[in-house]
Amino acid sequence: MARAFVIAILGAESTGKTTLAGTLAKALAADGHRVGVVAEYLREFCDREGRTPRQSEQRHIADEQTRRIDEAAATHDVVVTDTSALQIAVYSDLVFADASLYPAAQAAHRRCDLTLLTALDVPWQPDDYIHRIGRTGRAGMKGISITLASSADGEA
């Protein structure tokens, strides 16, 4: 069996990652693909423990997210994951000033074929949007930025 096509959805909480993952999976399955969805292990951890993780628990959470993605990739054509170890590494860096998770997280994330980054809102000014997406183009990296909006995103 060929290696699965892995779609990682990254972004802050409450940006629609879970909804987007489910919608993508449903559409891909309707197209005849064997699709696996990997839920955000961090959410499961917080629900089980009744708290946010400590610094000492970050590596386990990142490793478990990666393990689940790899497990799903072994048995599906397409995997849609509601975050990756890279998101956990960023969180650990921002909250605990701990950048030690980046090397393993970046190595794991390289196995993702497509990364979708969700944002909280659509910018009000085009210049703000150009600046925001321009930051992702550092170091000669190329990509495509697509903004999806509905009438609910317009001014009230």
Helices (DSSP H) in the chain: which residue ranges? 17-30, 41-49, 58-73, 85-96, 102-109, 126-134
pLDDT tens for each residue of 49-60: 999 999 999 999
Radius of gyration over every alpha carbon of the chain, rounded to an integer in angstroms: 16
- What's this model's pTM, rounded to 2 decimal places? 0.79
Predicted local confidence at residue 142, as pLDDT: 64
Eight-class DSSP state of 74:
T
In the chain, which residues have pLDDT < 50? 131-132, 135-139, 156
- The whole-number pLDDT of residue 31 equals 94
Q: What is the pLDDT of residues 79-96, one digit of tens each?
A: 999 999 999 999 999 999
pLDDT at 28 (0 to 100): 95
CA distance 23 to 17: 10
Q: Is 71 helix (H, G, I), strand (E, B) or coil?
A: helix
CA angle 41, 46, 49 (to 5 degrees): 120
